[in-house]
Amino acid sequence: MKTGSEKTSDILTSLLSTQKLAVLSTYSAGQPYSSLVAFAASQARDCILFATERDTRKFANILEHPRVAMLVDNRNNLESDFDTASAATILGEARELSGREREESLGLFLQKHPTLEKFATASTCALIGVRVQKFIIVEKFREITEVHLQ
């Protein structure tokens, strides 16, 4: 039988490896802003990666306020989700990656999203790394577990 922490780790691993999209929340001018992004997680789960054009609102918001939240979930938009769906809120600090760190991280991102290669390698596209501070995992719509990395 698995312990609670092992079960939570399994859920988090599953969400980060099987889901391709996350909701990114940024902040600017007293207002939150949410965007859908394709993401990949580092093996250690301490960094979440996504690509965005530098002329987007999310990129400008990150430059102004680097603290972000992301939501990854496995819902199917069915009534049964209230009993079966899981979600992870990821809290962290975002920054544009550059140099060798960008190249290594880009490889990881493209392993998960090979069809986004042209987009992610364009000179106008930034690769963002979110340094994870905390995961908040919700199971069955009401069971909450926090995992602190920092």
* Two structure tokens written together for 45: 């789960």
The CA distances from residue 36 to 9, 10, 58, 89, 126, in Å, are 24, 24, 10, 14, 16
* 139 contacts: CB under 8 Å, gap ≥ 6: 11, 86, 145
The CATH number for 104's domain is 2.30.110.10
pLDDT tens digits, one per residue of 45-95: 999 999 999 999 999 999 999 999 999 999 998 888 888 899 999 999 999
Written as one letter, the residue type at 101 is E
pLDDT tens digits, one per residue of 36-45: 999 999 999 9
pLDDT tens digits, one per residue of 95-142: 999 999 999 999 999 999 999 999 999 999 999 999 999 999 998 777
Domain with 78 in it: 4-148
Written as one letter, the residue type at 65 is H
Model pTM above 0.85? yes
Count of structural domains, the chain: 1
- Signed CA dihedral, 138, 142, 145, 150: sign only: positive
